[in-house]
Amino acid sequence: MNLLLSDDYLLQDYPENITNTIRSGHTTCLRFNRKGDYLASGRVDGTVVVWDLETMGVARKLRGHRAAITSLSWSRCGRYLLSACQGWRAVLWDLQDGTRYREVRFRAPIYTADLHPWNHNMFVASIFDEAPSLVDMSGPSDVKHTLPSAPKRANADADAATKEKQAKEDAKQMTTATVWTAAGDHILAGTNKGRFNIIDANTREIIWSEKICSSVVTTLRLTGSGRELLVNSQDRIIRTFHLPNLSVENLDPDTIQMPLEHKFQDVVNRLSWNHVTFSATGEYVAASTYNNHELYIWERNHGSLVRMLEGPKEEQGVIEWHPHRAVLAACGLETGRIYIWSVTTPQRWSALAPDFVEVEENVEYIEKEDEFDIHPQEEINKRRLDREDEDIDVLTLDPSKGYDDEIDGAGFRMPVLFNLGESDSEEEFVAVSTGTVRRRSLGEGQEGEAPVEEKTAGGKKTATAKGTRGKKK
């Protein structure tokens, strides 16, 4: 719909209904870029797909992984995209030409990989059964710095038995989630024992540690300002914290306090949460549920539940909120489709002209004296010729509605992809004939597919190849 016919400031701040469904393969994770015009999705076969949200079409397909994608992270300028997979590798993509800018290999599958907010040549990764790593790719070869997972202990003068007990507990600590602060000078890490660590990126040491939950920390998210922290864990409770300013000079770690703001949970059904995210302004918290198809949205002012989004009858995995609008994207665990919730925009035809008035019934119209005058044909032809001589600018792009803020004066725009074979969603439709397509059935066309077994009337199983037709009796 034309954007001139809607008043976004009158709309609510959270989505209501599913407005789009897109698919390219089986999606496992999602991430919006900072400007909000592209959505990156990782597939179970290792392909990374970049969607153009203006056309809801595929803008890029990046192939370089051989296992399911587990994490995606955009650079601040939007040119570089970091993807991590279960195949022990992380790839930094250059979207200018769709090539692999750098590739880093690890010794285990990767939980999460988060790019530095100001330097695309640096990222932090949490690894399965391994210590987290801070990777610097600014040089010709990658430099990996091992980060600690054991919490900082305050009782340095404890007895030998206590220290031995603490050492055994610290040996079991494994980092499961990491994220950068907004300034990029500290790393926030959550462990499998419910510990929360603040790591100095320069010294690579833990400066503050606190036990915030009783189970594994699965997700850490920050608001755009970096002052509020969202924590999801396996104890069925979502927590929000106020994060102190860690960028002040002469920071004293002993004075750091991280007060708990809210606890969000379903007390009646005791639901677990697959994934959580902040809204664009940080006023709302959204979560997808385990073994349930509904999405929950809470508001942070009072900590109350404001909406339960009902969509397809399948469980939703990773969910992401648009960085500027009331748009929520989620990927289904069964079908791998990407569902997009947004606000249903009402039409406002009065925005077409200042004197346009919407009427509920027919009104007799009185025309002006010269409103429908017939002009000579020569004058009409002259006006048409004058308009043909006007220069039309087809290269300058109009700025989007307040969100087109260029970063450091040089914004990145992804080049147009002219290869139609790379830009379509080949897993969704199958060409039947010229100009005719049909929707591909679930499981059709997969590599290594076994022949379909059909039961006959006698109870025997016969293997039939794909594409054969059964005879009618």
82-104 residue pLDDT tens? 999 999 999 999 998 889 999 99
Of the listed ranges 291-300, 384-393, 394-403, 461-470, the one predicted with least confidence: 461-470
| Res 248: pLDDT | 86
Q: Taking 80 as the threshold, does the pLDDT of residue 4 lie above it?
A: no
- Round to whole Å and give the CA distance between 112 and 93: 16
Q: Tell me the mean pLDDT in the region 445-457.
A: 38
Length of the chain: 473
> Can you spell out the DSSP letters for 47-73?
EEEEEETTTTEEEEEEE--SS-EEEEE
CA distance 346 to 307: 20
Q: DSSP class of residue 450? A: P
Which is more confidently placed, 105 or 5? Answer: 105
| pLDDT attached to residue 122 | 94
Note the pLDDT tens digit of each residue in 196-208.
999 999 999 999 9
As a whole number, mean pLDDT of residues 8-21 equals: 75
Residue 107 has pLDDT above 80, yes or no: yes
pLDDT score at 353: 67
Identify the residue with better confidence: 147 or 354: 147
Which comes out higher in pLDDT, residue 395 or 434? 395
pLDDT at residue 440 is higher than 60: no
Contact (Cβ atoms closer than 8 angstroms) between residue 424 and residue 416:
no
Among 95-104, 222-231, 248-257, 447-456, the minimum mean pLDDT is found in 447-456
Per-residue pLDDT, 249: 84
Q: What is the pLDDT of residue 394?
A: 72
Q: Which of 103-107, 338-342, 393-397 has the weakest average pLDDT?
A: 393-397
Q: Is 387 strand, coil or helix?
A: helix
Q: Which residue has the tokens 């993509």?
A: 93
d(CA 112, CA 109): 9
Mean pLDDT of 66-88: 93
Q: Which of 121, 52, 57 is nearest to 413 (CA)?
A: 52
How far is the first Cα of the chain from the last one, in angstroms, to the nearest whole number?
A: 53
How many percent of the chain have pLDDT more than 70?
79
Please give the model's pTM, rounded to 2 decimal places.
0.76
Q: Give 230's pLDDT tier (boundaries 50, 70, 90).
A: very high
